[in-house]
Copies of this chain bind each other. A is one copy, B any other.
């Protein structure tokens, strides 16, 4: 089969999840091909060989796909036999999206057959007027749209549209496009202005789907419908099953200053509002979304990039309410925060947004799957005080925190969300704006982008990042106008340097390092991001981190896990006078393990002394914890 990059160039279709109507655009999958044996290449291989099929198998096993088969048989069959929550259909759509991006990356006939099979199943369930749900509308089921707050019908369409866009951009118009367009038309007819229906969905997501569908098809009314949904929200009109802030319904999006409520809802909504601001050149709305992002990152985000601190309602907490041990930090909220940040990165050209994307990729997305791709973390706490019970090895788990990844969950949104993110990861490697190409993430690979005016940007990127900070970019000579390469220098990178064609290494500051005038001749660029272990502190308003250090190395957050310490990880006191040293894939510190006197009451009249014996402390990357059986773990370590 032909390479995707060729087809992209030929068709003008950009095989990327986010293609704004104006400004910078993300690289298409074929424009940055990640080396299969590098850090992210291995994750993509794992996704292709295990994660996607694992999701497919479990959606068969838990009845989610059968729901479509039953619905196709008729109302009696589905009413009697439907399994799963009201939003279960969406997981099939997320799987279809993951498969479609994966087909855009590496075509296989087996996957092509499966996409067609699932698409046909979905199409069979769609009603004549475009309505599509296995959960509502039949005799014996609740009426269509009878519970917009918690019913999730529109939410499911959003994922359907994103799947259809993935398929359309990687494969072309097919039955999935037809299904999506029919559903989108139905939504506009049912919920559009002048229809008398002023509802909106309790779980934002359709807005994202509608806007991207508009971008992929040129059908503007889908974007207009997204704008209508966004505008209706914020006046407390959703049935208050939870409080209105849970749904981001207590304040119009233009009046909010920070993310709040259910975290996945919040970041999906913010991503959609950012899309709308960009496509409609609404600078005011874009500024609002920038402010919301800044405030959210400044006070409501974990060092891992994780968002949503509360298990209760899976929600954002107040500013600085960032507990480590009861952190929720849902994997899906990480995926959504990447989507929001990436849209702001494209809209503003600022590097800070992709700093956060990188942080979330390494410390949330990479943390979720097990090494074999057959189990996942749903929530990502920064500390576990007790190893707890292992999840059932071959059964459905609740979302509750454990020290072990689980194969599947009662609500299993996270595994397919990881799958679609890994399959489309090439697109997050950089963006193009005119004759400028920016690299936003560093993974070994091949860049090949057609530029306006017949030029091209072609380069081979070689790096062992994030183990090493050395990134070598060999730019190939190309015809056409000169182009500029922008290289992201992360905020943590102090002492980064850049050398062009063997010239002297010049210090570069966090933000962007630019190399203009490329293309006329081969150019060898060496970027050194000065990756080395470092201590990181926290705002003292963050209880879980006060008086503590974390250890980071490049974008990777480290942790202390109980198998690596002869004592209680929570009694380790780090000597910050001794610099952390990389060792054996981990980092070694100096410190002691405190042995406090036993106490009947933990509130003494004087500070608790921490006598102990000096020892070496061995940390591992946070994203690799929980691989050795039940354990305890902490990211934040007390310091002297």
**Interface residues on chain A, number (Cβ under 8 Å):** 60
- Given the known inter-chain contacts A243-B400, A321-B326, please indicate yes or no for A537 contacting B385, CB distance below 8 A: no
Scoring A residues 522 to 559 as 1 if CB is less than 8 Å from chain B, else 0, what string do you get?
00000000000011111111111111101000000000
Please, how many angstroms separate the alpha-carbon atoms of A298 and B385 in the complex? Answer: 16
Contact A320–B543 (Cβ < 8 Å): no
Please, how many angstroms separate the alpha-carbon atoms of A514 and B608 in the complex? Answer: 32
Tell me, yes or no, whether A318 is within 8 Å of chain B by CB.
yes
Contact A326–B320 (Cβ < 8 Å): no
Tell me, yes or no, whether A352 is within 8 Å of chain B by CB.
yes
Count this chain's copies in the assembly: 2
Scoring A residues 556 to 584 as 1 if CB is less than 8 Å from chain B, else 0, what string do you get?
00000000000000110000000000000
Cβ-defined partner of A318 (8 Å) among B321, B386, B541, B603: B386
Chain B CB within 10 A, most for which of A543, A550, A606:
A543
Contact A537–B606 (Cβ < 8 Å): yes
Cβ-defined partner of A605 (8 Å) among B301, B536, B602, B608: B536
CB-defined contacts of A600 to chain B, threshold 8 Å: 294, 297-298, 352
Tell me, yes or no, whether A35 is within 8 Å of chain B by CB.
no
Please, how many angstroms separate the alpha-carbon atoms of A596 and B325 in the complex? Answer: 26
Contact A540–B534 (Cβ < 8 Å): no
Cβ-defined partner of A298 (8 Å) among B311, B318, B319, B601: B601
Tell me, yes or no, whether A303 is within 8 Å of chain B by CB.
yes
Tell me, yes or no, whether A196 is within 8 Å of chain B by CB.
no
CB-defined contacts of A596 to chain B, threshold 8 Å: 539
Tell me, yes or no, whether A317 is within 8 Å of chain B by CB.
yes
Q: Which of A294-319 contact B (CB under 8 A)?
A: 294, 297-299, 301, 303, 310-312, 317-319
- Given the known inter-chain contacts A298-B602, A326-B326, A601-B298, please indicate yes or no for A320 contacting B385, CB distance below 8 A: yes
Contact A603–B570 (Cβ < 8 Å): no
Q: Which of A453-494 contact B (CB under 8 A)?
A: 491-492, 494
Contact A326–B310 (Cβ < 8 Å): yes
Cβ-defined partner of A303 (8 Å) among B543, B550, B603: B603
- Given the known inter-chain contacts A400-B243, A544-B543, A546-B638, please indicate yes or no for A538 contacting B321, CB distance below 8 A: no
CB-defined contacts of A243 to chain B, threshold 8 Å: 398, 400
Contact A326–B323 (Cβ < 8 Å): yes
Cβ-defined partner of A602 (8 Å) among B299, B325, B494: B299
Q: Which of A583-633 contact B (CB under 8 A)?
A: 594, 596, 598-608, 610
Q: Which of A496-544 contact B (CB under 8 A)?
A: 534-544
Q: How far is the CB of A262 from chain B (nearest CB, A)?
A: 14
Q: How far is the CB of A395 from chain B (nearest CB, A)?
A: 13
Contact A601–B491 (Cβ < 8 Å): yes
Please, how many angstroms separate the alpha-carbon atoms of A538 and B606 in the complex? Answer: 8
Tell me, yes or no, whether A324 is within 8 Å of chain B by CB.
yes
CB-defined contacts of A312 to chain B, threshold 8 Å: 311-312, 326
Please, how many angstroms separate the alpha-carbon atoms of A606 and B547 in the complex? Answer: 12
CB-defined contacts of A541 to chain B, threshold 8 Å: 570-571, 602
Cβ-defined partner of A325 (8 Å) among B297, B534, B543: B543
Chain B CB within 10 A, most for which of A297, A535, A539, A601:
A601
CB-defined contacts of A543 to chain B, threshold 8 Å: 323-325, 543-544, 546
Please, how many angstroms separate the alpha-carbon atoms of A494 and B400 in the complex? Answer: 45
Taking CB as reference atom, which chain B residue is nearest A355?
Answer: B601
Taking CB as reference atom, which chain B residue is nearest A534?
Answer: B605
Please, how many angstroms separate the alpha-carbon atoms of A67 and B638 in the complex? Answer: 55
CB-defined contacts of A386 to chain B, threshold 8 Å: 318-319
Contact A570–B320 (Cβ < 8 Å): yes
CB-defined contacts of A536 to chain B, threshold 8 Å: 603-605
CB-defined contacts of A294 to chain B, threshold 8 Å: 600
Q: How far is the CB of A442 from chain B (nearest CB, A)?
A: 20
Please, how many angstroms separate the alpha-carbon atoms of A342 and B494 in the complex? Answer: 60
Please, how many angstroms separate the alpha-carbon atoms of A321 and B543 in the complex? Answer: 12
CB-defined contacts of A542 to chain B, threshold 8 Å: 602
Cβ-defined partner of A537 (8 Å) among B534, B550, B603: B603
Scoring A residues 375 to 416 as 1 if CB is less than 8 Å from chain B, else 0, what string do you get?
000000000011000000000001010000000000000000
Contact B547–A547 (Cβ < 8 Å): yes
CB-defined contacts of A325 to chain B, threshold 8 Å: 317-318, 321, 543
Taking CB as reference atom, which chain B residue is nearest A546?
Answer: B547
Please, how many angstroms separate the alpha-carbon atoms of A594 and B546 in the complex? Answer: 15
Please, how many angstroms separate the alpha-carbon atoms of A298 and B601 in the complex? Answer: 5
Q: Which of A188-208 contact B (CB under 8 A)?
A: none
CB-defined contacts of A571 to chain B, threshold 8 Å: 541
- 10 further contact pairs, Cβ within 8 A, besides A311-B312, A491-B601: A294-B600, A301-B602, A310-B311, A312-B312, A319-B385, A321-B385, A536-B604, A537-B607, A540-B608, A540-B610
Q: Which 3 A-B pairs have the closest CB atoms?
A: A539-B602, A318-B385, A547-B547
